[in-house]
Amino acid sequence: MDPLRHVKPAVRQIRAYTLAAREAPVKINQNENPWDLPEAVKRRVLDKALVRPWARYPDFDPRELTEALARFSGWSADGILAGNGSNELIEALLLVTVGPGTKVVIPEPTFTLYAHLTGILGGVAIRVPLGEDLRYDTTALVEARQRSGAAVTVVCSPNNPTGTSLARPDLERLCQAGDGLVVVDEAYHEFSGETAVPLLEKHPNLVILRTFSKAMALAGLRVGYLLSSPEIVGEVNKARLPYNVNFFTQAAAIAAIEEHAVLEEMVRRLVEERERLLARLEDLPGVRAWPSKANFFLLELLAASPKAVFESLYRRGVLVRDVTSYPMLSRCLRVSVGTPEENETFLHALGAALGEAGMNLSADTGRA
């Protein structure tokens, strides 16, 4: 008996997408909004849920949500698809485009789910390293796209975990270099003030993905949306599972849209905090904090071991993301921007962690 032999070899080869379960008083490892929606808004959603029968399915087409998303994003409702987190839409999009041997151009390092799902579907990830200063190398992306005849090219803008973004003229170059889909993952767009939505009209191969998990403060309820031409949306919709967005999440997403002024203020403060943190870290010896357009940034440890600093921060109650296994980032941790208080705790813990690591370094090298 070897039932496992029936699992696709491409799947047997890869490891599951996971995140080690760790908790900490200062949790700045998942790029979430450190503030929540106001309690009054949460109660409004709860009240709505209480009068609705839970035994009944949600709407087959979450029309009220899609129409709210259309007004919110400035794109037409028939070009919008809501999902159970943007992850689900990444999956649906790749399901309808990728089969054995399909080429998908994926910069690296980037959000790992794209290459992971491409592998599961039997596709081939054509990896294009980021260029100088971890910026997108548009020429290399265009070349890879054309040479491989890629069905899909993925660009996260701002990119996770580097915080770098793709300028609009570069994106247009990518869209024009062939008819393969160009997916712009805008999970963090609110923190950059940039969006590709105005290009949708002009580029029928452009697909934009957005999420409510970051700036919109709804990671726990799972909602994301895809924007593209109605034709592409119609095709991706075929791979969407029925009733994928539950009624509670639909109501919460609509409430978050109604409260967008509150959320925009949070985004403004987070961007301010990001810049304050980066400025403070400029003066700290032994680290380089990379500029970022998102609600996180890379912290490069110039001498100390990043893993040792990660553990040392954790012992001090601060949980960041270890990204040392990503290509090019073997000396880096990823730090999400938290509340001002959390950021102070982080800075303080980092100072102590670096001091501790420095002592270990001198012990290792036998220097005083």
> 201 phi and psi, to 5 degrees?
-60, -40
Query: Which residues in the 168-197 window bind ligand PMP by CB under 6 A?
Result: 185, 187
- Secondary structure (DSSP) of 187-244: TTGGGTT--SGGGTTT-TTEEEEEESSSTTS-GGG--EEEE--HHHHHHHHTTSPTT-
Q: Rule CB under 6 A: is residue 85 a binding residue for ligand PMP?
A: yes
The yes or no reply on residue 338 touching ligand PMP (CB under 6 A) is: no
Complete edge-to-edge strand list for the sheet that includes strand 124-129: 80-83, 224-227, 206-211, 181-185, 152-156, 103-108, 124-129
> How many residues bind to ligand PMP according to rule CB under 6 A?
12
Out of 97, 213, 249, 312, the only residue in the binding site for ligand PMP (CB under 6 A) is 213
Helix (H, G, I), strand (E, B) or coil at 17: coil
Q: Applying CB under 6 A, does 228 fall inside the site for ligand PMP?
A: no
The site string for ligand PMP over 112-151 (x = CB under 6 A, - otherwise) reads: ----------------------------------------
Q: Is 295 helix (H, G, I), strand (E, B) or coil?
A: coil
Closest among 351, 344, 325 to 161, alpha carbons compared: 325
Among 180, 224, 306, 338, binds ligand PMP (CB under 6 A): 224
Distances (CA, A) of 183 to 49, 94, 349: 34, 10, 38
Among 86, 165, 192, 249, which residue interacts with ligand PMP (rule: CB under 6 A)? 86
111 binds ligand PMP (CB under 6 A): yes
- Which of 325, 278, 268, 279 is closest to 299 using CA atoms? 278
Which residue(s) pair with 367 in the sheet? none
Quote the CA–CA distance of 171 and 90 in Å, as a whole number.
19
Q: Are 223 and 83 in contact (CB under 8 A)?
A: yes
Q: To 10 degrees, the CA torsion angle through 170, 171, 177, 181?
A: 160
Task: Between 211 and 228, name the residue whose CB sits nearer to ligand PMP.
Answer: 211
Shortest distance in whole angstroms from residue 213 CB to ligand PMP: 3
Q: Which of 37, 106, 156, 289 is close enough to bind ligand PMP by CB under 6 A?
A: 156
Pick the closer one to ligand PMP by CB: 215 or 357: 215
Which of 66, 73, 162, 211 binds ligand PMP (CB under 6 A)? It is: 211
Nearer to ligand PMP, 100 or 193 (CB): 193
Q: Minimum distance from CB of 86 to ligand PMP (Å)?
A: 3
Q: Does 163 bind ligand PMP (CB under 6 A)?
A: no
Q: Which two tokens stand for residue 113?
A: 């789910």
Binding to ligand PMP by residue 107, rule CB under 6 A? no
Distance CA 152, CA 104 (A): 5
Give which of 145, 176, 141, 175 is closest to 159, Cα–Cα.
Answer: 141
List 33, 87, 205, 345, residue binding ligand PMP (CB under 6 A): 87
Nearer to ligand PMP, 111 or 290 (CB): 111
| Smaller CB separation from ligand PMP, 91 or 342 | 91
Token output for 256: 């978050």
From 12-20, 79-87, 315-323, 337-345, give the range in contact with ligand PMP by CB under 6 A: 79-87
User: x/- binding map, residues 297-336, to ligand PMP, per CB under 6 A?
Assistant: ----------------------------------------
Chain residues binding ligand PMP by CB under 6 A are 85-87, 111, 156, 160, 185, 187, 211, 213, 219, 224
